[in-house]
Amino acid sequence: MRGVQVFAGMLGRPAQEALVDDLRAVVRAAPLFSPMTPYGKPMSVRMTSAGRYGWLSDRRGYRYSETHPSGRPWPPIPDSVLAVWRAVASEAAAPQCCLVNFYGEGARMGMHQDRDEGDFGQPVVSVSLGDSALFRIGNLTRGGKTESVWLESGDVVVIGGEARLVYHGIDRVKPNSSTLLPEGGRINLTLRVVDP
């Protein structure tokens, strides 16, 4: 699809391991939590963030916040993560949020748009680590034809231009499809510019 670039296998095993090491430090500083949707059901994906802003969902709605639910600021985005952004989105502004999504057994993410940011001209960069996931991409409005693609550990996706506001989601994760995370599961990093 136009505006979606998949860099399959961009990150080798050593780069993936370095990212996971840095993410363990992020999760120690800002533990994973299960966001509550505004309608009162917890999301199956656990998440945390690094950077000036973190994304969260609670009874007040979906939004960016300068603090973790603990009240503390988010840890900085690791250099290993910023290096990925620079490699694929060098024209863009610096990322202000690195959302860390953790998919354990049975976790999925329903079809949604990323529309809480101030400038849809800025791209979104996604990094997949661990088990493979079935990613689905649709249209600028809900419904209609969709396309599916398996995202594997080390894949990087850049979403920009006319694809920036398309509906997308994760239908399922294939257990034991990667040896990167000893505990199993999948990590997705989503890097975004937040301010207009």
Smallest gap, in angstroms, from Cβ of residue 153 to ligand MD3? 12
Cα gap 57→52, rounded to integer Å = 17
Instruction: Compose the 24-63 pattern: x for residues touching ligand MD3 by CB under 6 A, - for all others.
Output: ----------------------------------------
CB 81 within 8 A of CB 112: no
Smallest gap, in angstroms, from Cβ of residue 113 to ligand MD3? 7
Distances in Å between the Cα of 28 and the Cα atoms of 43, 62, 94, 106 are: 21, 24, 24, 24
Smallest gap, in angstroms, from Cβ of residue 123 to ligand MD3? 9
193 binds, among Fe ion, ligand MD3, none (CB under 5 to 8 A by kind): none
By CB under 5 A, tell whether 114 contacts Fe ion: yes
Residues 6 or more apart in contact with residue 86 via CB below 8 angstroms:
none
Show the DSSP H helices in 30-122 as ranges.
79-88
- Per the annotation, does 7 bind a ligand? no
Q: Which helix (H) or strand (E) holds 93?
A: none
Q: Of 88, 170, 173, 193, which lies in the binding site for ligand MD3, with binding defined by CB under 6 A?
A: 170
Residues 6 or more apart in contact with residue 41 via CB below 8 angstroms:
none
> Which stretch in 17-25, 83-91, 141-149, 157-165 sits in contact with ligand MD3 by CB under 6 A?
157-165
> Which stretch in 14-22, 57-65, 77-85, 166-174 sits in contact with ligand MD3 by CB under 6 A?
166-174
Check residue 94 and report its DSSP letter: P
- Per the annotation, does 188 bind a ligand? yes
Instruction: Compose the 95-134 pattern: x for residues touching ligand MD3 by CB under 6 A, - for all others.
Output: ----x-x-------x----x---------x-x------x-
By CB under 5 A, tell whether 117 contacts Fe ion: no
At residue 189, φ and ψ (nearest 5 deg) are -100, 130
3-class SS at 28? helix
At residue 162, φ and ψ (nearest 5 deg) are -70, -10
Which residues line the annotated binding site for 2-oxoglutarate? 101-103, 186-192
Give contact residues for Fe ion (rule: CB under 5 A). 114
Which residues line the annotated binding site for substrate? 55, 62-64, 116, 142
